[in-house]
Structure 1
Amino acid sequence: MGTIIEFKELPKNDYMLARLLVYCAKFNIVNQTYSVSKELADGLLACKPNRRSMKLEQIFNNVLDRYPDEVTIKDIDVMFNPDYMVDVLKILIAARKRKRYSVIWPGRLENEKLIYGEEGYPDYKVYKIEDYDITCVR
């Protein structure tokens, strides 16, 4: 399902792509990006610790709603807290169905996989791109 494209192959208007765009490198060409880490963390801190997993998607959507359509967000690291036990990519994709946005991936792209964190650490995650309805831009 998921695909990988080169940045130069990206249509001039990325809103033409129906899927979530995941930028896998820091591009200077990507216009204004918004950091969502503080707002996500504040929303999660307002919840009881045992409710944060259940509330993460709602909090993410509330934060995303504060930004204009076609926004590019970054700094989503708080979502990878291993205590939450959620599939971050599924949350990102579900939010894309509500609002057009793209995200700068806080990890790396290797061998058709998105990787977050370092092997051996509790927040380490590997996502096979083919399992998700996303377009990765490198």
Structure 2
Amino acid sequence: MNIHSLKKDINQFDAWYHKLIFLVDVNEKIKTEIPLLDRYERINVNRVVSEGLLSIPKQRYPMYVEELLKQVFKDIERIYLLQHIDILFDQALQIHPIRLLENLSKTYKLIVEWPGRYVGSQLIYAEHEHPEYFVCGDFEGKVYIK
């Protein structure tokens, strides 16, 4: 990963329509230890969404996920580092994780730790046989491989 390119892109976020960067670990062990990222607010998406949906009927989950995340994004000038996003692939949510992140990135500056692979211009989550298997090659934002 080229830290200078990453820093440059982060500094240019305001000029982007989708302010979205995906960090992908080549070993699929997302544990971002990049000093540059220490200054950004870390959001544990699994915790935010799971706690927020506790009192919501399952059939209404899709209507609440985006709002739950917006509640933690308090400042449009701040950069948010989204970690532990695995819950977004849960079929019970009935959402497209990339489209959700793209939509949020129109307003908020997001750096996302991708818990999967990046192969052939596609972001991949889980293995093909897994019920939460997800592939997306049509997305906005930049990918950095660590």
TM-score, with structure 2 as normaliser: 0.78
Q: 1:70 to 1:44 in 2, by over 3 A?
A: same
Is residue 2:143 matched to residue 1:136? yes
Q: 1:114 to 1:86 in 2, by over 3 A?
A: same
Which residues of 2 match residues 20-99 of structure 1 at below 5 A? 20-25=20-25, 26=30, 27-29=32-34, 30-32=36-38, 33-65=42-74, 69-99=78-108
- Aligned CA-pair RMSD: 2.2
AA aligned opposite 2:97: V
How many residue pairs are counted as aligned between the two chains? 131
- Secondary structure (helix, strand or coil) at the match of 2:98 reads helix
AA aligned opposite 1:52: Y
Aligned partners of 2:44, 2:75: CA distance in 1, in Å? 12
Moved over 6 A (4+): none
- Secondary structure (helix, strand or coil) at the match of 1:98 reads coil
My pick for the range that moved more, 83-92 or 68-77, is 68-77
TM-score, with structure 1 as normaliser: 0.82
CA contact (8 A) 1:40 1:63 kept: no
**Which blocks of at least 5 consecutive residues in structure 1 are unaligned?**
1-5
2:2 to 3, 7, 12: 7
AA aligned opposite 2:79: E
Q: Which has the higher contact order (CA 8 A, sep 6+)?
A: 1
